[in-house]
């Protein structure tokens, strides 16, 4: 099913949110640090395709809790019968990350994010609205960083953050959203993928607790 979603819904597909584990949460340059670590995470995941390294950015609790993957695509990675099995959840997240690296156009972060390409990727209404609330410069960086509180204003009516509020401290939480292109089997044309991730503070580090396809249900 996810293969189908990646082929047919990629322009509106999910993203995760990113930050580097060693970043100090309360430092004066936290926004700059988050921006820098987004690039480091994306390089490990999308450029080097180092899935074990990418997994280290996830909160330990999230890797054993099935809500870590948005329910719109969760069944493709975590079977319903296994959602309470921590090992199955971890395997599912690993599959999700690996699937997200298949047939990416570009082999450097700049080419993957369209920075070395005259082509400007088409943006959905969701991304256009996200640009207005981002605390970085999306038009220059080609990815989005925004506080969770501001992102809630763009959420669908059915979105529910209560479960995450019960499990994590979301006061400083933020999300990162990235858009890149996945080529078809002929390696020519393709579809754009949009992935979102939610990050929370864990001690002096940032960790991912949720990955989603923002417009999967649109």
pLDDT tens column, 42-74:
899 999 999 999 999 999 999 999 999 998 899
Q: What is the average pLDDT across 88-107?
A: 91
Rounded Cα–Cα distance for residues 143 and 195 (Å): 10
User: What is the tens place of the pLDDT at every residue in 72-85?
Assistant: 899 999 999 998 99
Residue 24 has pLDDT above 70, yes or no: no
Is pLDDT at 29 greater than 60 in this prediction? no
Look at residue 12 and tell me whether its pLDDT is greater than 70.
no
| Report for 33-42, 83-92, 185-194, 195-204: range of highest mean pLDDT | 83-92
pLDDT classification of 202: cutoffs 50, 70, 90:
confident
Instruction: For residues 169-189, give the mean pLDDT.
Output: 82
Compute the distance between CA of residue 126 and CA of residue 190 in angstroms, rounded to an integer. 20
What are the tens digits of pLDDT across the range 99-147?
Answer: 989 888 888 888 888 876 666 677 778 888 899 999 988 888 888 999 9
Average pLDDT, the chain: 79
The CA distance from 160 to 41, in Å, is 27
Question: Could you tell me which residue, 150 or 116, shows the higher pLDDT?
Answer: 150
Question: Where in the chain does DSSP place strands (E)?
Answer: 15-16, 143-147, 174-183, 190-202, 205-212
* pLDDT recorded at residue 185: 65
pLDDT band at 90 (very low <50, low <70, confident <90, very high): very high
- The answer for residues whose C-beta is within 8 angstroms of residue 82's C-beta and 6 or more apart is 88, 89
Q: Which residues are registered as beta bridge partners of 202?
A: 205
Is the predicted pLDDT of residue 217 greater than 60, yes or no?
no
pLDDT of residue 21: 42
pLDDT given for residue 102 in this prediction: 87
How far is it, in rounded angstroms, from Cα 191 to Cα 180?
8
Residue 22 CB-density burial (10 A; 0-12 exposed, 13-18 middle, 19+ buried): exposed
pLDDT for the residue numbered 54:
95
């Amino acid at each position: 099913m996810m293969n189908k979603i990646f082929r047919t819904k990629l322009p509106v597909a999910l993203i995760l949110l990113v930050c580097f584990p060693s970043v100090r949460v309360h430092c004066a340059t936290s926004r700059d640090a988050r921006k820098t670590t987004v690039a480091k995470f994306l390089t490990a995941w999308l450029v080097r395709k180092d899935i074990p390294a990418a997994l280290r950015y996830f909160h330990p609790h999230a890797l054993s809790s099935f809500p870590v993957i948005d329910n719109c695509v969760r069944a493709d990675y975590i079977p319903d019968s296994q959602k309470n099995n921590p090992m199955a959840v971890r395997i599912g997240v690993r599959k999700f990350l690996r699937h997200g690296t298949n047939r990416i156009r570009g082999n450097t972060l700049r080419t993957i994010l369209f920075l070395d390409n005259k082509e400007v990727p088409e943006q959905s209404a969701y991304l256009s609205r996200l640009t207005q609330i981002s605390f970085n410069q999306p038009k220059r960086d080609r990815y989005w960083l925004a506080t969770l509180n501001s992102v809630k204003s763009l959420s669908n009516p059915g979105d529910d953050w209560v479960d995450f509020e019960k499990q994590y401290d979301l006061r400083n939480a933020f999300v990162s959203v990235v858009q890149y292109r996945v080529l078809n089997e002929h390696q020519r044309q393709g579809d754009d993928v949009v992935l979102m991730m939610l990050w929370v503070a864990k001690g002096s580090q940032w960790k991912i607790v949720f990955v989603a396809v923002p417009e999967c249900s649109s």
